[in-house]
Chain A
Amino acid sequence: MAKGYKAAAKRALAEQPQVRESVTRATLHFDANRARAYAEVEAEAWRDWAAATKRHTLSRLDRYLIQAEARLLASGAEVHWAEDADDAQQILRELIDRYGVQRVVKGKSMLSEELEVNGLLERLGVEFFETDLGEYIIQLAGEPPSHIVGPAIHKNLEEIRALFHEKLGTPPDASPGALAAAARKVLREAFLTADMGISGANFVVAETGTVVLVENEGNIRLSTSAPRVHVVLAGIEKLLPRVCDLEIFLQLLARAATGQKIGTFVSLLNGPRRPDEPDGPEHLHVVFVDNGRSSVLADREMYEALSCIRCGACLNTCPVYRQTGGHAYGQVYSGPIGIVLTPGLRDPRLAEDLGYACSLCTACADVCPVKIPLPKQILTWRVRSAKRAPAAERMAFAGYAQLMTRPRFYRISGKLLRIAASLTGAPWLPVLGAWAAGHGALEPSPKSFREIWEEDLGNA
């Protein structure tokens, strides 16, 4: 089977037309809500401010990490550091052993996908539940998430009905409310019996060591409140300097992601349960994960992508993402931000494929709440991957450059081309491959623009 975005996209469009329909509908809906919510506030000023705050944080990341660690330790949390997925899995394995964990409830976390936590839990024989409704749906279906915010947006109601009918025994024509109630019943039991909750982190405030989590369902609040151990997986780029920075970031995240004023539930966590509190986890562990982030930071043309707050706005507005959904990218992060981050986090060679899942329309740059220059970065990845292109292609483009920068060559070759085309039609078009397939046949005009121009000038 052919690999890469192009092949996967082709397969998806041919074999699962309903994916395109569901994804387009959902993303248009998200994007329209985002546009309305931006228009209600001084979005431009907020975005400038948020972008500057994130750039500042990244430029002093080492200090803020040390400050956050000190504050977390002071609040009674344990802090761990993981260089890569292996480290993070090792830390989780030790925690699971230490606390004798048999059951885990998980809040939605893209980092957990990156670290393949589910695979680890499976291998260890630990029972685990994705508790976000969308994540639970795809866990039942055995699929990875296809969108940062709406992991199951590629599935329509019919598919989810059939899935729940098979796995949970709901009636084949159950309403969305009844389906949600069935999931709630299973997961409620899981929350109350789990030994460990695993979550990501939307923000970690360096000033106070506060872990901030944003959601709409309440599953993250429950995952971080009911079990006796809570493990936070946080990318090292998740830091914010001050508590007061949350004012804009919480509102901007919600407006960019779904058009809400603020996420329905925001958790602000400062350490494990205190002695005078009736409930809450007895142990809080925060794992700071690098997993390629420090290499992105070192890349001066790409480091701004670490400002990303995972709102999904660039996915929702991307005309390419809207057609195929996230699975075709074959990576944890899809859409424009996925194209930019994935080669930096994993392997620069991935840009040779992913860099072209983009029409360079620049819509993503207009919506990004932290103003990441995504189109510029995608173009940079293309330039870099072009240096590794086949020799024939590089020579062809070098020749093209010679031609286009010398007026005489340009004129002669234009003439030759017109003569050839009038004799043969355009049999050379297939040479241009995919480009020609997407464009109409070229019918060269009998005269070049220059010739017409000069003649008209002569007549005038």
Chain B
Amino acid sequence: MPDAKRRILRRVRRALEGRWPVEAPTGPWRPAVEEGEAVERFSAHARANGAEVLRFTEPGAARAWLADWAAGFASAAVSPQVPAAYVPPLPAATPAEAELGVSRALAAVADTGSVLLSSSEGRLLQLLPPVHLVWVEETRVLRHLAEALEALGGEPPASALALHSGPSKSADIGQIMVQGVHGPGRLIIAIVPSLEDAAGEGKTVPGPDPAGGLDWDAVRSLAGRDLTTKRGGSFTVERVTENTAVVRVGSSGKTYTIRRHCLEKAVQRIAAGTPISGPAAYRRHACNEAPAYAWALLHALDLA
């Protein structure tokens, strides 16, 4: 249909003719932040979704548990990205035949209780075995979905990323919940301090740094302050919440929400040696949301 595209776009343009474009709202909203650290919130949410969550503080304890637990299975399909020390001592099998699939998560998300998986380790081993074990590094447990989704920005790391948030389920038969319909009926998420040290050969998987190197309390201390943008426009920092800073522009009274992780990203870039000398550089290197005010915040903290 070589002309279909042209005709569809022409009809869309004609439909929109003479209408004002609607501006996109600034910054996505964040769920209200619950008390508790990310790993605890992640565990609670993943369990509520029906996943089993284990947290190990010692690599030795994780390996001992694995050896013991894996004895209940006959075979496993294991991601090449799982370090040898965390591979169950089982005969290897294809994903279609294996009783256990073992993955390594790129990240985990506290808000939703999800693990982020990559197709670079193979998709079928995440789906076909009836039981799915996912290793997660503690530092890769992120607070919000957007932080995990950043992995998609720029150049996506694989052809398919997936968020798994519990065992496969359906209530299509008379509203009665059944587990393990097509995908795994059990999802076991094991959190360990590091997947690098124990094996010394595990590949480093790039992921966002949750801490970001930004002292949020310093940002908090800006609340109520009057600041100016690089071009001299004055604005007020209305309030600073757990994840956002809200600014009000003096001249128009309009408010903008600046996201914490945008600022964190900018600070990371600066730490990595990329100078962010003004709003334009901020927009290019960090985030395109309210760059004039975001940059001014960083400038007020002597960070940019």
Contact = CB atoms under 8 A, between A and B. Distances in A.
Interface of A: 22, 25-26, 29, 41-42, 45-46, 48-49, 52-53, 55-56, 58-62, 65-66, 69, 75, 80-83, 87, 90-91, 131-134, 137, 150-153, 155-157, 160, 176-177, 179-180, 183-184, 187-188, 191-192, 205, 207-208, 210, 216-219, 221-222, 224-226, 236, 241, 243-248, 250-251, 260-274, 276-280, 288, 290, 294-295, 297-298, 300, 303
B234 interface: no
A303 B164 CA distance: 34
A56 B156 contact: no
Q: Which of A218, A241, A263, A266 has the most CB of B within 10 A?
A: A218
Interface stretch (B9-17, B63-71, B292-300): B9-17
Contact of B1 (A81, A187, A260): A81
A280 B8 contact: no
Contacts of A91: 1
Interface string B148-190: 0110110010111111111111111111101011111000000
A264 B16 contact: no
Contacts of B121: 278
A153 B181 contact: no
B183 A221 contact: yes
Q: Which of A83, A176, A247, A277 has the most CB of B within 10 A?
A: A247
A290 B8 contact: yes
21 contacts: A26-B175, A46-B29, A48-B25, A62-B16, A66-B9, A69-B5, A133-B172, A133-B178, A176-B173, A176-B174, A184-B180, A218-B168, A225-B124, A244-B150, A247-B28, A250-B145, A250-B163, A251-B111, A262-B145, A268-B160, A278-B124
Q: Looking at chain B's contact residues, is the secondary structure mostly helix, strand, loop, or mixed? A: loop
Contact of B8 (A131, A247, A294): A294
A239 B106 CA distance: 26
Given A83-B4, A137-B173, A236 B182 contact: no
Interface of B: 1, 4-5, 7-9, 11-16, 19-25, 28-32, 45, 48-49, 95-96, 111-114, 119-124, 126-128, 144-146, 149-150, 152-153, 156, 158-176, 178, 180-184
A91 B4 CA distance: 11
A134 B12 contact: no
Contact of B29 (A49, A69, A179): A49
Contacts of B119: 225, 273-274, 277, 279-280
B168 to A, nearest CB: 4
Contacts of A137: 172-173
A297 B12 contact: yes
Contacts of A300: 19
Nearest to A289: B8
B123 A266 contact: no
A343 B158 CA distance: 41
A280 B166 CA distance: 22
Given A137-B173, A218-B184, 20 more contacts: A52-B24, A61-B12, A61-B16, A133-B178, A156-B174, A157-B174, A180-B170, A180-B173, A208-B156, A217-B181, A217-B182, A219-B181, A241-B24, A243-B150, A264-B169, A265-B165, A266-B165, A274-B159, A277-B119, A298-B15
Contacts of B128: 188, 222
B217 to A, nearest CB: 24
Contact of B15 (A222, A264, A294): A294
Closest CB pairs A-B (n = 9): A218-B183, A157-B174, A134-B172, A298-B15, A278-B122, A294-B11, A81-B5, A81-B4, A266-B163
A14 B184 CA distance: 42
Contacts of A60: 16, 21
Contacts of A243: 149-150, 152-153
A180 B178 contact: yes
Contact of B169 (A22, A55, A187, A217): A217
Given A66-B9, A218-B127, A297-B16, A42 B29 contact: yes
A177 B159 CA distance: 34
Contact of A217 (B95, B96, B120, B183): B183
A396 B158 CA distance: 66
A24 to B, nearest CB: 11
Nearest to B118: A277
Contacts of B48: 261
A261 B16 contact: no
Contacts of B13: 62
Contacts of A75: 156, 159
A46 B28 CA distance: 9
A151 B24 CA distance: 34
Q: Which of A58, A61, A180, A244 has the most CB of B within 10 A?
A: A244
Contacts of A46: 29
A280 B181 contact: no
Contacts of B45: 261
Contacts of B95: 279
A139 to B, nearest CB: 12
Contacts of B180: 180, 184
Given A219-B182, A262-B165, A157 B176 contact: yes
A318 B125 CA distance: 41
Contacts of B96: 192
A373 B150 CA distance: 33
A56 B22 contact: yes
Contact of A297 (B15, B23, B152): B15
Given A59-B16, A243-B153, A236 B8 contact: yes
A279 B8 contact: no
Given A56-B23, A176-B176, A248-B29, A188 B182 contact: yes
A26 B15 CA distance: 39
Contacts of B14: 298
Contacts of A59: 16, 19-22
Nearest to B34: A40
Given A187-B182, A216-B170, A56 B24 contact: yes
